[in-house]
Amino acid sequence: MMPETAPPLPLPPAALRLRLDHAALGANWTALDALSGAARAGAAIKADCYGLGATEAVPVLAAAGCRDWFVAHWQEAAEAAQIVPVGQISVLHGPITDAEATYARALGVRPVLNSLEQVRRWLAAGGGPCDLMVDTGINRLGLRVEDIGDPAVGALDIDTCLSHLASADEDSAQNFAQLARFGAVASAVRAKRYSLCNSAGIALGGDYHFDLTRPGLALYGGVPRGELTGRIAQVAFPEAAVIQVRQLHAGESVGYNATFTAPAAMRVGVVSVGYADGYLRCWSGRGQVLWQGRRLPVLGRVSMDMTIVDLTTAPDCGEGDWLGLDYALPGAAAASGLSQYELLTLLGRRFAREA
């Protein structure tokens, strides 16, 4: 007889949680779709919806009306295909091997072709609906403009012809130059739709919108340009539990390298979040957490799993209570020196995702 095994024990609740405001997420897509004018807004859902969780976020965006989805990797395409129709999914990195071209055809997603080599590889695999990226100045992925007249490009069944703005978050002459180049591309490449804008590009105005916009950051609460201030709502609200309260005597230091010393007796809390969770050491001595409308300073150096905060003004906060991380993205980026993109995508897997 096989020995009996004990049933698995239920896990205690996580000491980290990430609350997603579904209403704000849906409203952000609606606002960006309206700002896109005659164009339709899609959604960049790569990097697990910028760290917020595709299984949570994608259904909300679909319910709001999104029908075009952009991922970077094939595994992201496979995950998205469990949630939305495969024919709506575009894979930005394109097929760099014959096996990837075969996989894209079998799954039914659209590869974004980024070079003449990928164009020929796609046609050799049997072709079919695809997207085409043309580089207009960012010099990352994409065909060079001088290659768009190649006969192989003319043989493609292109759903969307794309390019990507390099400096849309700035008032840069590069934006105008890329717009002019993409206008010429749109006249030369036969496609069902044309797409240039990311989140920041939407705010540049109607000339940039073409047929399809591809917001990412702004969907999830980021504000890459001032024109979007007041139109985009915070979506991500990370929280961490207090796991110990300590009393410090005057002259005692806290954390690695003793970068903070108590000037007087004080009450502090050890919070269950650290740089392994995306709360990086740049917050050391400068971050703040939120408790019932009060801002509590981070003390000393952030460590891998723990951060120490000042509870002097929160005598009612104790072990097991939840503190909010200050994650209104524009302000958090200014305070930390991280980009709004980094703040979101660094959020670790130990956060329990909650609606």
Q: Return the active site residues.
A: 46, 256
CB 259 within 8 A of CB 298: no
| Per-residue buried b or exposed e for 213-230, using 16+ beta carbons within 10 Å of the residue's own CB | bbbbbbbbbbbbbeebee
CB 4 within 8 A of CB 341: no
Q: Could you give the C-alpha distances from 64 to 15, 76, 207, 218, in angstroms and in order?
A: 31, 21, 25, 15
| β-strand partners of 40 | 212
Single-letter residue type at 174: Q
What does 100-138 look like in DSSP terms, one character per residue? Answer: HHHHHHHHTPEEEE-SHHHHHHHHHTT--EEEEEB-SSS
Question: CA 251, CA 119: separation in Å to the nearest integer?
Answer: 67
How deeply is 285 buried, as exposed, middle or buried, from its count of CB atoms within 10 A (0-12, 13-18, 19+)? middle
The tokens for 261 are 């010393």
